[in-house]
Chain A
Amino acid sequence: MTNDRIDRRFAALKAENRAGFVTYIMAGDPDAATTLSVLKGLPGAGADLIELGFPFSDPMAEGPTIQRAAQRGLRSGMTLQGTLDLVAAFRQGDNDTPIILMGYLNPVLNRGFEAFAAAAATAGVDGLIIVDCPPEEADPLSDALEAEGIALIRLAAPTTDDKRLPMVIRRTSGFVYYVSVAGVTGVKSADPANVALAVTRLRNASGLPVAVGFGIRTPEQAAAVARVADAAVVGSALVDEIEAAAQLNENVTEKVLLKASELAKAVRSARLEMA
């Protein structure tokens, strides 16, 4: 069984000649019920694909914003299985929006690759991004995911040279995720000129759509990336909204969906302004 929600979504985006808007939030931040209500609202707010983080105690590639989100997720009792349960609940009302889980290898390894892949497929997961599983170490995980029709989305970085590129895109499907800055999430800003070059290079090498993330916080930055990439990923800026709203006892879902709408609008209109 091949799951083609990701392929269908990128084909539709291409037909509309616009980039996709990808949102990242952390499961269980600040609690499971809020995450589910945000998830349910995101497609309506303009999210074309959803990345859902599952928390890990030692998120080595994250900046302070996502680190704190992981801590809040863990404190609320979120687990890898709890994250799958959220996806299953979301799928009851939405069978089209692709969901990509994102996190670190140890919780998945702990579950067992085959057992995880089967449970993820049942829940309705379309893809998986594992930050600390480079292609050199990925074959056992790829085997398990491919058997269940789940894409292992590969990360390419500014440091990924031409020699490495073929290995990085080997056995990848769905799309390629370009980490647009050398650094942790949510701190540095991406340079649009460099992003354009990297996207072209990755698209040519892989034949897959290229999503860009790690350095996009504002509608302007999202629009700049949306002009050249197949999708723009925003994480820390949304998670900051969640944190601020939770601290002020405001309606978290409302605040984060409002922020998502602003960013979605910028992404959706980016190429119109160009023309």
Chain B
Amino acid sequence: MNAIIPNQYAMPDAEGRFGPYGGRFVAETLMPLVHELNAAYEAAKADPTFQAELDGFLTDYVGRPSPMYLAERLTAYYGAADIWFKRDELNHTGAHKINNCMGQILLAMRMGKTRIIAETGAGQHGVATATVCARFGLKCIVYMGATDVERQSPNVFRMKLLGAEVVPVTAGRATLKDAMNEAMRDWVTNVEDTYYLIGTAAGPHPYPVMVRDFQSVIGIEARAQILEMEGRLPDAVVACIGGGSNAIGLFHPFLADEGVRLIGVEAAGHGVSTDKHAASLTGGRPGVLHGNRTYLLQDDDGQIIDAHSISAGLDYPGIGPEHSFLHEIGRAEYVSTTDQEALDAFMLCSQLEGIIPALEPAHALARVGDIARELGKDKIVVMNLCGRGDKDIFTVAEALGRKI
């Protein structure tokens, strides 16, 4: 289990498989499009002008590199390992989602697509997509579960300000999973002009690898920054996981660094032993949904179970296939955080560091204390602070029983 051959990470294979996970499980109508996308992405990846263009926008528009910051008061609070934040909440639009959107929008334009569709949960990916569509003058339609439209109203307004059409999805439990179904239905209906800009490292190949590659800027920067600032690699890197795009972006550049623990934090909702959580690896088993084979929350008949999390961005019953693979080979560890623990961490970070985190990274933060204590003094833990919490203040106020 722990004897890992380096080339095991040369994933995925040509069929988009990470071990038994990944693949391309979509309707025949979409298969030619998925192949076309893969060819276009491979060509773009090999084209230095594409990379230079992307780097330019990441620097001047997104504001990269994001800082690496030693959270001194939080470190002192736990009194153990040094806690560092990778500050991806300082990106334009307030989360890591824009890294991927910038890459994919440049690709969509290379492919001559004029109509962009996306799904969104917390609204961060929707806002990032609406932002790049506004920047490049492309039509933008965002599918969002009606439940999420309700609990993330600031982001809905933001998307509309940016010129996007937000379509509330009422099917199912009206959250991220249902928004993704509806986006797939749009794609299969509008095959000529439409580009589906998936926001997480899941879906049919090449999405998991493409989103990972665009998000890997997080881990590449973090690795270089900590080497420069501390002269060594961290002992652990930590990130929250819904579909898992910020986590895979942080983890991937550290995969070959065997001494670096990779820790993903899933949303445990009311607890993984209840029926209200979103921890696919901890509480699910392998299946096929949304174009890929991966760990899913499902019942005895193979029906997908609705996830639950206080964080709309983690409220998804699946996980990117590369995480399923890293989980199975034991290279990454996956733990979970309940709604209440995330709320506590949200308050702690706000009051000790003057940073209001999004509820998503608050899940990661809730485990960072345990990890820091487990590692002990003079060790280093790096957490991706992947989003800021402005969008969550209404949810948090409600959870605290306060009126704004």
Contacts and interface: CB of A to CB of B under 8 A. Distances in A.
Contacts of A81: 301
B304 A58 contact: yes
Contact of A58 (B27, B28, B33, B181): B181
Given A60-B290, A159-B32, A182-B191, A133 B25 contact: yes
Interface in A165-224: 168, 179, 182-184, 187-188
Nearest to B177: A58
B234 to A, nearest CB: 38
A61 interface: yes
A62 B178 CA distance: 13
B185 A184 contact: yes
A258 B32 CA distance: 39
A188 B291 CA distance: 23
Specify the main secondary structure of chain A where it touches its partner.
loop
Interface string B24-40: 11111111110000000
A168 B29 contact: no
B28 A156 contact: yes
B185 A136 contact: no
B24 A155 contact: no
Contact of A187 (B27, B189, B289): B189
B188 interface: yes
B25 A137 contact: yes
B172 interface: yes
A79 interface: yes
A53 to B, nearest CB: 14
B interface, how many residues as a size bin? 35 or more
Nearest to B285: A110
B29 A132 contact: no
Nearest to B182: A60
Interface in A75-133: 79-81, 104-111, 131-133
A115 to B, nearest CB: 12
A134 B25 contact: yes
Most buried by A among B25, B291, B304: B25
A108 B185 contact: no
B15 interface: yes
A106 B28 contact: no
Interface in B11-49: 15, 23-33
Given A58-B177, A164-B32, A131 B27 contact: yes
> Interface majority SS on B: helix, strand, loop or mixed?
mixed
Q: A60, A154, A161, A184 — which one has the most chain B CB atoms within 10 A of its CB?
A: A60
Nearest to A131: B27
A132 B24 CA distance: 9
Contacts of B171: 67
Contact of A132 (B15, B26, B178, B185): B26
Contacts of A136: 15, 23-24, 31
A262 to B, nearest CB: 28
A164 B27 contact: no
Given A58-B172, A60-B185, A105 B25 contact: yes
A188 B24 contact: no
B273 interface: no
B287 A109 contact: yes
Given A58-B172, A184-B185, A159 B29 contact: yes
B288 interface: yes
Nearest to A63: B185
A110 B291 CA distance: 16
A216 B8 CA distance: 48
B22 to A, nearest CB: 10
A179 B188 CA distance: 11
B26 A134 contact: yes
A139 to B, nearest CB: 11
Interface string B173-202: 000011001001100111100000000000
Contacts of A58: 172, 177-178, 181, 289-290, 304
Interface string B300-312: 1111100000000
A164 B24 CA distance: 15
Contacts of A79: 301
Given A106-B287, A106-B304, A107-B302, A57 B172 contact: yes
Contacts of B301: 79-81, 107, 110
Given A132-B288, A164-B32, A182-B189, A61 B27 contact: yes
A76 to B, nearest CB: 13
A24 interface: no
Contacts of A61: 27, 29, 184-185, 188
B1 to A, nearest CB: 25
Contact of A183 (B25, B188, B300): B188
B152 interface: no
A44 interface: no
A160 interface: yes
B216 interface: no
B246 interface: no
25 contacts: A61-B185, A74-B303, A79-B301, A80-B301, A81-B301, A105-B25, A106-B288, A106-B296, A106-B304, A107-B301, A107-B302, A109-B288, A110-B298, A132-B27, A132-B288, A133-B25, A134-B24, A136-B23, A156-B28, A158-B29, A159-B28, A160-B28, A168-B28, A182-B188, A184-B189
Interface of B: 15, 23-33, 171-172, 177-178, 181, 184-185, 188-191, 287-291, 296, 298, 300-304
Closest 7 A/B residue pairs (Cβ): A110-B302, A107-B302, A157-B29, A183-B189, A57-B303, A79-B301, A155-B28
